[in-house]
Amino acid sequence: MLDDIVFDDVVGWVHSQVPVAGAIEVTRERPWSTVARVPIVGGVAWFKACSPVQAFEPRLTAQLFARWPDLVPEVLGWDDERAWLLTNDAGTLLRDVGNPPEVWEQLLPSYAELQRGETAHAEEHLAHGVPDLRVPALPGLYPELIRRGLPLDPGAEERLRAFEPMFVRWCEELAAHDLPASIQHDDLHYGNVYLHSADPQWGEARVLDWGDSSIGHPFASLVVTFRFLERINGLHPADPWFARLRDAYLEPWGSGLTDVFELAVRVGRFAHAIAWIKQREAIIDPAERASFNDEYRLVLRRAVALIGD
């Protein structure tokens, strides 16, 4: 994603933002972004160049950090035109301490507060390129799950087509509850949360990598969180942890929202599958697309599983 000429520009720009103390090294290249490690005086920073599909991320991250500095990585610099972002090191990756549910119980109420606060900025985020996955838009996007030749299991396309009227009713019911749309991270899992300390009992958490975000129903953020707790931690869907985390998340929103949450998560599984269409279309390399399809197939399968026989 970064050729030699552009990388020279990156090095110059990074040096203008922070006191660099060593060689800047590219550590990850994906179709939607390139990440580089930047040694700086006193620690490490991280540079990220976003592709067009996630070009909104630097501005979004900078705006969130300005309003929620304890929950978002420290932004050291950003360039909106070139979609570049420079952040301070955020600590210990949650993946490295095993994804304990206790960390999520601490984090989710704060994340909900961020979402509540960001409802006032939803239109601003949309105007600067954050995708629109608000509930009223979803029925119009649903047919894309059928038209795009996605990696669906045999028979899933027919089931999706037959389910469309019911999905529209779900969206109408959810919209009737009139909860305001907000920023929805849509990739809220143990690979995008960092702790200030390696001890999960003491480390306050920060949420990184906002490039999959959309403006949508806020409760749908937990679709991914819960999927990873099932898949990585081996929690059964009926495990008491899920109700405990749901209640911790809902506390800032007020009482009586359990049924709305359950409906939002059902709708959110389809919204999450719809969101991945753009990510998939950004992948040109056949091998990378095949790898992406392996994970996407699981996402689609979880949505289709909600369709009754």
Answer yes or no: are the C-beta atoms of 114 and 64 closer than 8 Å: yes
Q: What is the mean pLDDT of residues 30-50?
A: 96
- The topology under which CATH files domain 4-89 is Phosphorylase Kinase; domain 1 (3.30.200)
Q: Report whether 185 contacts 272 (CB < 8 A).
A: no
Q: Give the tokens for residue 81.
A: 């035109």
pLDDT at 202 over 70: no
What pLDDT does 150 receive? Answer: 95
CA 10 – CA 281 distance, rounded (Å): 26
In this structure, how many other beta carbons lie within 10 angstroms of the beta carbon of residue 148? 12
CA torsion, points 282, 168, 303, 250, in degrees to nearest 10?
100
Q: How far apart are CA 191 and CA 207, in angstroms?
A: 10
Mean pLDDT of the chain: 95
Domain extents in the chain: 4-89, 93-304
For residues 238-248, give the mean pLDDT: 98
SS3 274: helix
State the helix-helix crossing angle for 240-250 and 258-281, rounded to 10 degrees.
Answer: 90
The angle formed by the CA atoms of residues 213, 33 and 101, to the nearest 5 degrees, is: 50
CA angle 256, 257, 260 (to 5 degrees): 140
Rounded distance, CA 157 to CA 200, Å?
Answer: 42
pLDDT-based confidence at 3, cuts 50/70/90?
low
Q: What distances in angstroms separate CA 9 from CA 105, 216, 244, one per listed residue?
A: 42, 35, 48
CA 40 – CA 21 distance, rounded (Å): 5
> What pLDDT is recorded for position 62?
98
Burial of 162 (0-12, 13-18, 19+ CB in 10 A): exposed
pLDDT value for 81: 96
- Alpha-helical regions (H) of the chain: 4-17, 57-67, 101-118, 122-127, 138-141, 144-147, 156-176, 222-231, 240-250, 258-281, 286-304
pLDDT for 147: 87
Neighbour tally for 112: CB within 10 Å: 21
Beta pairing class for 33-40 and 43-50: antiparallel
- pLDDT tops 70 at residue 117: yes
Q: Roughly how many angstroms between the first and final C-alpha of the chain, as a whole number?
A: 44
pLDDT tens across 64-105, in order?
999 999 999 999 999 999 999 999 999 999 999 999 999 999
- Pick from 128, 26, 35: which is nearest to 86 by CA? 35
Per-residue pLDDT band for 44 (boundaries 50, 70, 90) equals: very high
- The architecture that CATH gives domain 93-304 is Alpha-Beta Complex (3.90)
Q: 36-75 b/e with 16+ CB inside 10 Å = b? A: bbbbbeeeebbbbbbbebbbbbbbbbbbbbeebeebbbeb
Rounded to an integer, the average pLDDT of 180-209 is: 87
Q: What is the pLDDT of residues 265-283, one digit of tens each?
A: 999 999 999 999 999 999 9
Lowest average pLDDT, out of 186-200, 208-222, 242-256, 270-284, goes to 186-200
Question: Would you state the structure tokens that stand for residue 39, as one six-digit string?
Answer: 């040694």
What is the identity of the amino acid at 227? Answer: R
